Amino acid sequence: MKAKIITVVILILVIATPIVLYMRPLPNPTVALSVPDKSVVPGTLSLPLPNAGESGIAVQGVGIMSDTSNETPIPIGSVAKVMTAYLVLQHHPLQPYQSGPTYTMTQSDRAKYVHDKAIGDSYVRVVAGQKWTEKQMLEGLLLPSGDNMAYTLAVWTDGSEQAFVNEMNQTAKKLGMTHTTYADSSGVSPNTASSAADELKLAQVAMQNPVFRSIVDMAQATLPGSSTPVYNVDYYVGHYGIVGIKTGSTPQAGGCFVSATYDNVGNHKVLLLGAVLGQQGTPMLDTALSNSRSLLQEAKKDVSISSVPQGTVVADINVPWQGQVPLETSKPISYLSFPGLKITRQLVVTKSTSGTNYSLDFEAGEQRITVPLQQTEAINKPSLKWRVLRGTKLPSKL
């Protein structure tokens, strides 16, 4: 009787064990990148950064190519007016065909003009009671670089210059300009200081505004109260492909120039931005303009289009019962590139009622591209043999 019971138990175990093994929950497939999550575009930049002061070069929408190492805040002169114009247009947005609201010059505006003219600062002539449109005031600010117009715009926008300066500093923080402090709206104060990298950050944002772009690309303008045009201090505008942006020059700041030029890269029209600060040649502003021109021209040689072809395997699904199932890009990735550009890749997995989807978040500098991924083969169901024997180590010899 005892032997029969043992036999029955053995039979039950023989029958039940495979069933139990088969019914075990299946392990979930895992997925991981098969390419590095971080890399840089190969090659070396050899841009002619000036030895004096600070300088840098950037590609709009991509980021900074190169800039002076270990930058510290230095005076920037009238380059500060880029932030002034940017904030005015934030408060009073314009379309390219608009002149904007009309402002009537006050006795205070007139007194500021008289004062700046008397001490030798840059200025535009104003008369109390004179009517100026917003666009004309911006032209007076950015072309002849009127210090008194910076004051007028600041008071018009925020009620006082100090309130406007406070907003300038708040905006600088928001834009990540960690080496920038504004002490006035015009840049006359040597305490208004920044760095080349910070000015490139601001230039990228400011040049997104079509009205700002159109004004800094003007060689001259006719302002109220005069039939004689005023000329852009940036006399490179219209030459060498230069389309702006702003000059600055004081004894403390030296010669400064934040510049811009377009380049055709493949089918893309690319905006290159330069910042050259603290130039001490003779004359200082000429040195800044010349060095900036050389920097932009050389940078054009290093910007290109790079691509990742459609069908590139970038990840694998590790299926325990099948092995690795590659994931490939469902379309090509095209991006602006230059040597040293940082590339990051992140695999994104999303689950829904219809199944699991995979995509690649691809970042090249400030460029963000998301590409769906597709499997190169189907995931099969596990075999009966695999489900029963998985995890079982069979002897090599019986």
Catalytically annotated residues: 78, 81, 145
**Residues annotated in a binding site:** 246
Let me know: does 329 contact 263? Beta carbons within 8 Å.
no
What is the C-alpha separation between 152 and 138, in angstroms, rounded? 10
Compute, in degrees rounded to 10, the torsion defined by CA atoms 349, 354, 355, 361. Answer: -20
Binding site members for substrate: 246
Q: Residue 367's closest CA among 274, 243, 255, 270?
A: 270
Q: CB of 223 within 8 A of CB of 280? A: no
For residue 275, what are the β-bridge partners? 56, 258
With both helix axes pointing from N to C terminus, report the angle between 196-206 and 81-91 in degrees, rounded to the nearest 10. 30
DSSP codes joined into one string, 108-132: HHHHHHHHHHHHT-------TT-EE
- Nearest residue to 121 via CA among 139, 141, 148: 148
Q: Give the DSSP letter string of 335-347.
A: EEE-TT-EEEEEE
Cα–Cα nearest to 284, from 246, 242, 256: 256
Contacts with 261 (C-beta within 8 Å, 6 or more apart), sequence order: 240, 241, 242, 243, 271, 272, 274, 296, 300
Q: Which positions ≥6 away from 302 have C-beta within 8 Å?
A: 43, 45, 47, 65, 338, 339
| CB burial readout 297-309, b (16+ within 10 A) else e | bebbebbeeeebe
Strands 304-308 and 313-319: unpaired
